[in-house]
Amino acid sequence: MITVDKLIFEYPGLRALDDVSFRINQGSITALVGPNGAGKTTLLRCMAALDRPVSGTIAIGDIDVLEQPRECHRVIGYLSDFFGLYQRLTVRQCLHFVARAQGIADSECPAAIHAVCRRLHIEDRLEMRPGELSRGLRQRVAIAQAIIHKPSLVLLDEPASGLDPEARHELAELFLDLQRQGMTLLVSSHILAELEAYCTDMLVLRKGRLVEQVAVKQTQQHQSFKLLLAQAVPNLADILTRLPEIELLKAEHDRVAVIQLSADTQEQHAVLKALLELNLPVCEFAPATRNLQDAYLQTIRQRP
């Protein structure tokens, strides 16, 4: 569990983080979103023990980040929004340097480099210098540097910026792979459409304040379904609320509804059968995915 409590950070004359509190579950992938200047980079830097807040606490498991910055660096991986790579070193030398700096024994470095390069599909670039690589490959080397010591929490600031759609897709796959290995990820990004593919949670920052924390993925026991009728049926909401297996979340114009059902597919089939037996002209009955971009825009517009 990562806990941030009542965090305040100030640059001279500017409060960049104002009483920010949240919790992140282990094994989650959380999107950190918000308009330019909202405080995302500042928050990530504080969590990485690179900047010191005025007040508040940050805990990564049982490590107090402000009190134990060195211990914190051992368990986190951090990718800065404007990362740099040593231009005169080869990829292998860059990774060896970072591995040693992270305290990996010299004799264990080749195995650590091999493992991380295999995961990031850059094994064939080890003897090249960063200047000879495309932006997407340089990004991979930078991520390899950030995770070579197998951190439990990875903080990534705008990792997808400047990447083409294919590279962004591969990045999403990589994040899911890291999650499967047991890592927790906090990813700041403006590309909301893609965050949806891998995020379990979303934190929305605005003007230094946390305005929303959303669980993006549905719970295991229940699933939201969208129901669309070919034509309107009077009192649709009343008809649906009478069915015991359904929890009505939303009904509009007697024609569209969002309902919550059991995640059990047999029970979902039984509900569809019951709807048809009521002679409802169902033309769409499908899982309703929560649109991250809509949720974000709604949040940002709602708050003054």
Ligand X SMILES: Nc1ncnc2c1ncn2[C@@H]1O[C@H](COP(=O)(O)OP(=O)(O)OP(=O)(O)O)[C@@H](O)[C@H]1O
Name the site residues for ligand X (rule: CB under 6 A): 11, 14, 16, 34, 36-42
Q: How far apart are CA 56 and CA 54, in angstroms?
A: 7
Supply the minimum distance, in Å, between the C-beta of residue 216 and ligand X.
Answer: 20
Pick 157 or 196: Cβ nearer ligand X: 157
DSSP E strands, the chain: 2-11, 14-24, 29-33, 55-60, 63-64, 76-79, 153-157, 184-188, 201-206, 209-215, 222-229, 247-252, 256-262, 282-287
Pick 95 or 157: Cβ nearer ligand X: 157
Pick 160 or 271: Cβ nearer ligand X: 160
Q: At what angle do helices 109-120 and 91-101 cross, to 10 degrees?
A: 120
Supply the minimum distance, in Å, between the C-beta of residue 96 and ligand X.
Answer: 31
Question: In this structure, are residues 255 and 228 in contact, taking their beta carbons and an 8 Å threshold?
Answer: yes
Pick 14 or 101: Cβ nearer ligand X: 14
Supply the minimum distance, in Å, between the C-beta of residue 45 and ligand X.
Answer: 8
Supply the minimum distance, in Å, between the C-beta of residue 158 and ligand X.
Answer: 7
Supply the minimum distance, in Å, between the C-beta of residue 8 and ligand X.
Answer: 13
Pick 144 or 203: Cβ nearer ligand X: 203
**3-class SS at 11?**
strand
Nearest one of 86, 108, 87 to 99, comparing CA atoms:
108
Supply the minimum distance, in Å, between the C-beta of residue 12 and ligand X.
Answer: 7
Pick 41 or 139: Cβ nearer ligand X: 41
**3-class SS at 195?**
helix
Supply the minimum distance, in Å, between the C-beta of residue 11 and ligand X.
Answer: 3
Could you give the angle at the alpha carbon of 250 between the alpha carbons of 245 and 255, nearest 5°?
A: 95
Supply the minimum distance, in Å, between the C-beta of residue 54 and ligand X.
Answer: 13
Pick 12 or 234: Cβ nearer ligand X: 12
Pick 48 or 280: Cβ nearer ligand X: 48
Q: How far apart are CA 143 and CA 121, in angstroms?
A: 12
- Write out the two tokens for 296: 């974000």
Write down how long the chain is.
304
**3-class SS at 46?**
helix
For residue 259, give the DSSP letter.
E
Q: What is the distance between the terminal CA atoms of the chain, rounded to a whole angstrom?
A: 31
